[in-house]
Amino acid sequence: MTTRRSVLQGAAAAPMLAVPTLAAAQARRAYVLVHGAWHGGWCWARVADRLVAAGHRVFTPTQTGLGERKHLMRKDISLDDFVTDMTNVIEAEEFSDIYLVGHSFGGRSVCGVADRMPERIKRLVFLDSGLPQPGKSVFEGFSPEVRDARIKAAQEFSGGLSVPAPKAASFGVTEPADATWLERRMTPHPLSTYTTPMNLKNPIGNGLPVTYIRCTEPKYAVVDPSGAYAQSRKDWQYVELKTGHDAMVIMPGPLTDILLAVA
């Protein structure tokens, strides 16, 4: 690969990253796909099916208090708990050389995993992810308007326990069937994960190979600072995908092509 940056538009676009065929595929990979706020492991179904069809192992764990684990919602769920969710899966499955993918809020979780167990990871992939500010909470990286709106929504919805899920359109999902599917399955997100600090002992990425995929049409403004930071990192691979924030729902084929093609 001779460039750090490529732009994909729809299924018909020709990606600048070379996508291996099944016959040419290298050793079987292990992908761990981590969801973002209000989502669960279920959101990766379309991508996971494609990766499995290409001969790879795929795990899509759900973080505490969300998805099928919504019964575990409590007022003190922290970012460290989310990180532990993922490290426990990796340890239990005895994974090594994994491709660890974090979408949106899940980017913070995979940063924590890379901080704790870099020896298990082959490559980090951030999908339109927010990136942590070590020692600071998620809210400290948000604008006051976004922070105050989410606190207000949580107070009105659950007395401050959790933030209700937004409409699918906020993630760029506008196709009616997809929007209905997404809104039916999203669950409230624990407010405490926005207010607890991200504790890292090492720099973001911990020296591992990194790919950052920025979804650009429409852009999800909350992750703009993280996207700009990723683009500035000359040692990271930066890719743009012309789709909305929930690329795994809107454009699973081209997204899977990127995940198969990362070095």
The residues annotated with a catalytic role in the active site are 104
One-letter amino acid at 123 equals R
CA atoms of 18 and 20, how far apart (whole Å): 6
* HSE-up of residue 234 (Cα within 13 Å, Cβ side): 0
Are 228 and 252 a contacting pair, CB within 8 Å? no
CA atoms of 31 and 70, how far apart (whole Å): 24
With b for 16 or more beta-carbon neighbours within 10 A and e for fewer, the 199-237 pattern comes to ebeeebbbeebbbbbbbbeeebebbeebbeebeeeeebb
CA atoms of 180 and 162, how far apart (whole Å): 22
Query: Hey, which residues does 122 pair with through a beta bridge?
Result: none
Are 107 and 168 a contacting pair, CB within 8 Å? no
List Cβ neighbours of 115 (8 Å cut-off, separation of 6 or more): 83, 200, 201, 202, 206
CA atoms of 202 and 208, how far apart (whole Å): 11
